[in-house]
Amino acid sequence: MVMKPSELRANVGQLVIMGFTGTEPGTTLRVVLRAIQPGGVVLFARNITGAQQTWDLLDDCRKQLRENAFLCVDLEGGTVDRLRDVIAPAPSAAEVGNTGDRKLFRKHGRVIGECARALGFNTDFAPVFDLGFEPSRPVLTTRVISASPAATVEYTREFLRGLRDARVLGCGKHFPGLGEAKLDTHHELPSIAKTFDAMWREDLVPYRELRREIPFVMVAHANYPAVTRDRLPASLSKKWMTKVLREKIGYKGLILADDLEMGGVLAADSLEGAAIDTLRAGADMFLVCHNEEAVWRTYEAVVREAERDKKFAKYVAQCARRVRDVKKRSRELKGHAPRPSESGVEHLRKEIGALRQQIDRYEAERL
């Protein structure tokens, strides 16, 4: 059966989660959204100036799209907190993890999820599954809670439950693990000299234990030469995404390649090449986070490759079907919160304040 060009383009669009510049829904953004019909959009601090402004921006994005979209944000608390200036700074994973209180872990996820949901988001690229090993401490800082796989599973499982309580999808990152990475993948491609057996016992434990509980797994731009015997980042590696994550671990959710504009992947491939190659390696979706031109370039590159290679077009269709299936099943994408009021935002600030007071009490008891 020959696929219609419009159907192929619609399928490719579903594989893209796009970012953009600006704080208002201008003509250029609307044109890109209407033409590409992306599977999702992601906002960063540069896009966010207020609670109502954020809700309005996301609402306008939704209105340009014919299908439900993942409305995404990176909201971990601590150093990665896009809403700190419009609501209040949320505690970091390390601060909450240090309490050892599972109820507080879940509350952390719920409060962060409520903040995201109230401003119009339905997807949070959190929590971090990386283990807190010594080499990565200058990079990951308080984004991780422990070098212990068991402690990391305990915290992330409860955090994900808290997000679900708030009707927000979560995401495990950064597969297969950046705990030994000395470099920041935003700028460079780290090479992690760790054997597969060691990673199976340590870094991969959260993915193994929580494989049925995470809607997304975000794949890192880091190289693991002892495992793959090449210089490719995991985000372009069929061994990592297809052989390990899909087949050996048995993960059935959506595999998402981290931002293709990051230095870690561009050290190994062109922007357009990375979009094609991450899909060929097993990703379902990819992020292009910074500007509309890069979104266009990756989208058109995948369309051209699918037009040229019918086998690739078939795979694109399978990915789009998985994306749509997740959207259809996810109650998080059914309906959205009303435009936030000042009193609603103040309530969220109080929730964050109460959470921080609980953390402070644990700290005081230890002293």
Give exposure, 31-50, as e/b (b: 16+ Cβ within 10 Å). ebbeebbbbbbbbeeebbeb
Q: Is the pLDDT of residue 293 over 70?
A: yes
Mean pLDDT of 115-133: 98
Considering the candidates 186, 197, 230, 347, report the single residue annotated as catalytic: 186
Q: Is the pLDDT of residue 210 over 70?
A: yes
- Residue 141: Cβ-neighbour burial (10 angstroms; 0-12, 13-18, 19+): middle
Give exposure, 273-309, as e/b (b: 16+ Cβ within 10 Å). bbbbbbbbbbbbbbbbbbbbebbebbbebbbebbeee
The two tokens of residue 259 are: 């931002």
pLDDT computed for residue 365 by the predictor:
84
pLDDT computed for residue 2 by the predictor:
62
Q: Catalytic residue at 309?
A: no
Cα–Cα distance list, 253 to 25, 126, 179, 302, 338 (Å): 31, 15, 23, 22, 29
In tens, the pLDDT along 257-283 reads 999 999 989 999 999 999 999 999 999
Cβ contacts of 32 within 8 Å, gap of 6 or more: 18, 20, 292, 295, 296
Residue type, 138: P
In tens, the pLDDT along 103-112 reads 999 999 999 9
Q: Is the pLDDT of residue 171 over 60?
A: yes
In which band, very low, low, confident or very high, does the pLDDT at 364 lie, cut at 50, 70 and 90?
confident
pLDDT computed for residue 144 by the predictor:
97
In which band, very low, low, confident or very high, does the pLDDT at 5 lie, cut at 50, 70 and 90?
confident
Considering the candidates 124, 203, 258, 284, report the single residue annotated as catalytic: 258
Q: What is the maximum span of the chain, computed from C-alpha positions, in angstroms?
A: 70
- The span from the CA of 190 to the CA of 109, in Å, is 29
Q: Is the pLDDT of residue 1 over 80?
A: no
User: Domains in the chain, start-ordered, CATH in brackets?
Assistant: 8-366 (3.20.20.300)
- The span from the CA of 200 to the CA of 185, in Å, is 22
Mean pLDDT of 41-70: 98
Mean pLDDT of 344-358: 97
Mean pLDDT of the chain: 96
Lowest mean pLDDT among 289-293, 298-302, 339-343: 289-293
Parallel, antiparallel or unpaired: strands 80-81 and 123-124: unpaired
pLDDT computed for residue 66 by the predictor:
97
- The span from the CA of 34 to the CA of 296, in Å, is 12
- The span from the CA of 120 to the CA of 55, in Å, is 5
Total-model pTM: 0.97
Parallel, antiparallel or unpaired: strands 75-77 and 80-81: antiparallel
Q: Catalytic residue at 221?
A: no
